[in-house]
Structure 1
């Protein structure tokens, strides 16, 4: 007989950003437990609101599935004596499995006979196993936890009630001194207490008490409400899935409404208005058909439409205060010059060992200057980039950024433009913070890209020098994101600059500073490995397998766009069966590469035509490969290496490399080593699992 299972955790209001992951954990851990316990079921569903996490299992079997298990015992040599009788080992084995020696049979295992018995494991009653849900509940993890009262359990918020039902029966257990029951709660202000007689009543009973337990349904209700407001008022609400998901996790019973603010506030920068609405109040901004901001906002009430006008006025009043503050900050900030704020940077510490923000800006300028020279920029672009580097952080001490920290750079762009800086400089100030996420938008302008790389390079190198290496989830300076952003910009901009040369540039700045008690060699090694990890992360987006990534990063990262192009080329060729003999030939040279360090080849020592032919093709390939390499043509460079395949096969067929004659042997090894060096300069092809790939095609 099948029954439904319901388990609900009632909590104080959870932070919105915790809810989706916690719900996912609860669902997955419950599924895994049911499968491990061999409890069959028809379906499983999860629910969440700010005050609850729940799972519903439909059609759960009333007992575990019984299984037959074959149990292996000792070898037959141990199980029987010289007379063929069962030994104590065999008798003990069968008895331990609840069987007798009459149940023993033998099977061959890798050429030797072993004894076995087959036993049936009868499934237990499901109701006897369900109290283990206590362990599932306690295992849910959160980004931040707390303790309350005398409890040892660490959880995001205190547990206030527990519902646990198997059919009509309560599943008995307790968590943090809260015992399970069949009693749940409706909306904090609009609903009543609910006594459940079965799990199937759950969702409907909550809805009757103003709780929409399904988060997708709440989100759809909000979306439908906004669509209706758009139709009623003729305005446009820009899509914002992130805000929509957050708002759905702030309410249990959503009612969408619109409010307004004074037209005069539209004189403020759009980003300031949107941030005031979204970040502080979780309001949706409103625009017209041309994309211009309108003096309206959309909010979502946690409740019904009772006295909605009063709620609207209250929200308008709160936003009015926010915008009034923003206007004051905006006007006060612009009473001061850019130089005034730059002077303030000298008193803001970036990092104890790395100096002030002012120190950082000077390092960013030096790196930007070096980049300008390496990229051979025209005078105007170089001047713009250097000016942007000089003032890239000037907005940090402003009142506006102090109030709205996520507007750093954006406010700088606005204030710089208002102060008369040219458009390229102003835009670069905002651009240099991009990407704000590992896969986020990259800088639009060349100047912004240069300052962004300089800023990120300084942060990554400096923090590594200071020993601030990310570990696990601990990465307070966002070094992973910054390193990834740096590499993405190099790739996107197709800059012919090696990653290693940039790292050397950044390290030199810190060597010149003379940081005390720093092992620069150790820091350089850690920095190299850290950047390779970030490069590997990006390469895996274009290469089919970690082995290709390893092949390309066996030495340096090199020029990022060229390395990415190689990854695409090798990823394609590994699935090209015609390339198999090429791979085999080139890898044969790599396998012998360590036999000598020499690459000087003497044609006068050659004994066979195949040696001469291979050397002639190698000399041609070296020139053509160098040309393709300089043009960073990954396909052509690999094709030049492929030209060596046939003469390599002929060479190994007609020559004994390890000749008894030392002169001949060393000359042949030098030839092989010279080819291997050329191959290694492209990638370590021996690291790629070609054979395995071709077998699966």
Structure 2
């Protein structure tokens, strides 16, 4: 009879931004362990709230098959003598297996034949193996924050307070984090009685909702919040526009959500709306409300986890908190502007960029030098680009950014606008931090792009220069995101800039980088790795990406053009025969121990197919340079296709390993010349012929 297994881990408040990842990781690990132990099961449902991670596994087989290690015995030649009688070696092996030698099987492979034995299938109750499965699954969970509590040696995202493991109505004995499993579930935080007693695994999660209105299923809770918020906002003829990431975070903060609406004073609408929206979404986790023209209006939607009879008190409390926040913002916004934004520049000397790399003032000077070199290359206005570089970090020493660090750049933009700076300069102050995350918007103008590249490449050069680059999963300076930002900006905006030259300029601005050549190579490799990930996420064929990246190119726009050209060419009928021809050439050259000539000796070419092939090579060497110079890689590949038939004819009618060593070397030289032609576009040896 199949059963239901429940596993719930009750914790202190879990990090809202990690909750979904923790839940998915736990579920994935459990599934992996069940499959590993060949335990049959039906539907698996995961649950996640701020104070619990849980799984309910339905129709689980109460027994699992346990097999002993397969035992390989002596080879047949050692197991039996010339009279086919078992040797002492075979008998001892059979005894160690606990079997009669007649029960042994024979196993063959290309090295010979051996005695072999596998124990019979043995059935065990699943509750015997579950403690190990659960512990292993928890141990392997992906989490960015780990902590210790009490005196136990284990680490987890937050302190674990209870563990409930039930197989139908039976408690499965588990001891993890020095916490023993029982049938006690954590109650809602607002209830005096902290415990809910569950008798049977099948009662979950209904017992939580019935007892305390807890919605354990993340997506169900999310759907309720969304539905209720849309219902409430219609009462005031308002509209909601919010990213899904905000809804996920709010869902992760509550167990039994109640959606309410609050108001704030209209006078605050005189502040830049981006600042108000940031405070509501990032600081307070509220939904801003807009009119039909997508303009902010003095309302906000919030979700409370408090179960209260007096909801007016809850609304007033949230309104007071937001009022205080907005009042601070208004004061800082006004007070900061008693000085011009440029006047904050000298004070950047007192703010560290990185303790080994100096202050933000020094970083600003390096960015200024870099943008002086970058701007003319990309046709950005040099005067305004330099001005943007000088002002780029000035807002970091304002009271507004000190209070609300996440709106750095946004604050600088508004202060620059109020100081009547050029509009593109002001926008660049905000946008040079973009993209901040996957899917974030890119800088909108050339000055913003130039400033973003300068700032990001300076960070990469400096941190790599002092060997503080990412190691394993640790990336404290978010360098992967920084490098990905450079890749996205350059490729999407088609900015023709040589990364190696850029890095030479950047590293030369640092006095503390000792091995500049090593730093340049490390950063270049790091950026190209991000480039690989960039194309992989977009669904490009990995073999094509690798074939181009292996050529060690340093212009991302050039890399992009080649990848797209080969992706187009892959759809044509000539792709496969050209790739196969290249593979055959590479295979022959790899096997050959003979060195090739520096140039083809035409006096040694006698066969008709050789002469035809050489003419094609000569024609390509005339046509290709201009096409490659103009980055017309599609046309170049189509011209390469003209080699298919001559190469095939060459292989069919010519013996490469000619008895005359000079002719042999010359024919290898012909193949090497063809290989070099291919390498002008990509390393075709990485490409699959399908």
TM-score normalised by L of structure 1: 0.91
Q: Which residue of 1 aligns with 2:182?
A: 181
DSSP-derived class of the 1:181 partner: coil
Q: Deviations over 1:462-511 (max 9, x none)?
A: 2222222211222222221111211221111223333333223323333x
Q: Which residue of 1 aligns with 2:508?
A: 508
Q: Which residue of 1 aligns with 2:455?
A: 455
Q: Is the 8 A contact 2:47 2:218 kept in 1?
A: yes
Q: Is the 8 A contact 1:138 1:153 kept in 2?
A: no
CA distance in 2: counterparts of 1:302 and 1:30, whole angstroms = 30
Alignment of 1:208-357 (within 5 A): 208-210=210-212, 211-304=214-307, 306-357=309-360
Q: Deviations over 1:366-404 (max 9, x none)?
A: 2222223323x27xx332222222222221111111111
1:36 to partner: Cα distance: 2.8
1:340 to partner: Cα distance: 0.7
CA distance in 2: counterparts of 1:137 and 1:67, whole angstroms = 22
CA distance in 1: counterparts of 2:460 and 2:602, whole angstroms = 50
Q: Which residue of 2 aligns with 1:679?
A: 678
Q: Which residue of 2 aligns with 1:163?
A: 164
Q: Is the 8 A contact 1:69 1:120 kept in 2?
A: no
CA distance in 2: counterparts of 1:636 and 1:137, whole angstroms = 53
Q: Which residue of 2 aligns with 1:523?
A: 519
1:310 to partner: Cα distance: 0.5
CA distance in 2: counterparts of 1:476 and 1:69, whole angstroms = 44
Q: Which residue of 2 aligns with 1:437?
A: 437
CA distance in 1: counterparts of 2:266 and 2:148, whole angstroms = 47
CA distance in 2: counterparts of 1:585 and 1:33, whole angstroms = 46
1:557 to partner: Cα distance: 2.5
1:655 to partner: Cα distance: 5.1
Q: Deviations over 1:147-183 (max 9, x none)?
A: 2222222222222222222222222232333322212
Alignment of 1:344-423 (within 5 A): 344-375=347-378, 377=379, 381-423=381-423
1:662 to partner: Cα distance: 7.2
CA distance 1:138–1:538, change in 2 (3 Å): closer
1:641 to partner: Cα distance: 2.2
Q: Which residue of 2 aligns with 1:200?
A: 202
1:245 to partner: Cα distance: 1.1
- Higher mean C-alpha displacement, 289-298 vs 450-459: 450-459
CA distance 1:631–1:328, change in 2 (3 Å): same
1:346 to partner: Cα distance: 2.8
DSSP-derived class of the 2:204 partner: helix
Q: Which residue of 2 aligns with 1:622?
A: 621
TM-score normalised by L of structure 2: 0.92
Q: Which residue of 2 aligns with 1:470?
A: 470
Q: Which residue of 1 aligns with 2:645?
A: 646
- Higher mean C-alpha displacement, 200-209 vs 125-134: 125-134
DSSP-derived class of the 1:155 partner: coil
Q: Deviations over 1:304-354 (max 9, x none)?
A: 351000010011111111111000110011111122112222332222343
Q: Which residue of 1 aligns with 2:636?
A: 637
CA distance 1:67–1:190, change in 2 (3 Å): same
Q: Is the 8 A contact 1:562 1:634 kept in 2?
A: no
CA distance in 2: counterparts of 1:295 and 1:643, whole angstroms = 69
CA distance in 1: counterparts of 2:466 and 2:452, whole angstroms = 21
Q: Is the 8 A contact 2:6 2:54 kept in 1?
A: yes
Q: Does 1:532 align with 2:533?
A: no
DSSP-derived class of the 2:519 partner: helix
Q: Does 1:27 align with 2:23?
A: no
Q: Is the 8 A contact 1:160 1:178 kept in 2?
A: yes
DSSP-derived class of the 2:395 partner: coil
Q: Which residue of 1 aligns with 2:550?
A: 554
Q: Is the 8 A contact 1:26 1:136 kept in 2?
A: no
Q: Is the 8 A contact 2:70 2:117 kept in 1?
A: yes
CA distance 1:596–1:367, change in 2 (3 Å): farther
1:21 to partner: Cα distance: 2.1
1:236 to partner: Cα distance: 0.6
Q: Is the 8 A contact 1:543 1:549 kept in 2?
A: no
CA distance in 1: counterparts of 2:307 and 2:367, whole angstroms = 54
1:294 to partner: Cα distance: 0.7
1:575 to partner: Cα distance: 6.0
CA distance in 2: counterparts of 1:108 and 1:575, whole angstroms = 44
Q: Is the 8 A contact 1:350 1:356 kept in 2?
A: yes
1:356 to partner: Cα distance: 2.2
Q: Is the 8 A contact 1:39 1:65 kept in 2?
A: yes
Q: Which residue of 2 aligns with 1:152?
A: 153
1:669 to partner: Cα distance: 5.2
DSSP-derived class of the 1:406 partner: helix
- Higher mean C-alpha displacement, 200-209 vs 257-266: 200-209
Alignment of 1:561-576 (within 5 A): 561-574=557-570, 576=572
Q: Is the 8 A contact 1:367 1:505 kept in 2?
A: yes
CA distance 1:605–1:369, change in 2 (3 Å): farther
Q: Does 1:582 align with 2:584?
A: no
- Higher mean C-alpha displacement, 541-550 vs 11-20: 541-550
- Higher mean C-alpha displacement, 4-13 vs 581-590: 581-590
DSSP-derived class of the 1:7 partner: strand
Q: Does 1:48 align with 2:24?
A: no
Q: Is the 8 A contact 1:499 1:557 kept in 2?
A: no
- Higher mean C-alpha displacement, 161-170 vs 327-336: 161-170
CA distance in 1: counterparts of 2:451 and 2:636, whole angstroms = 33
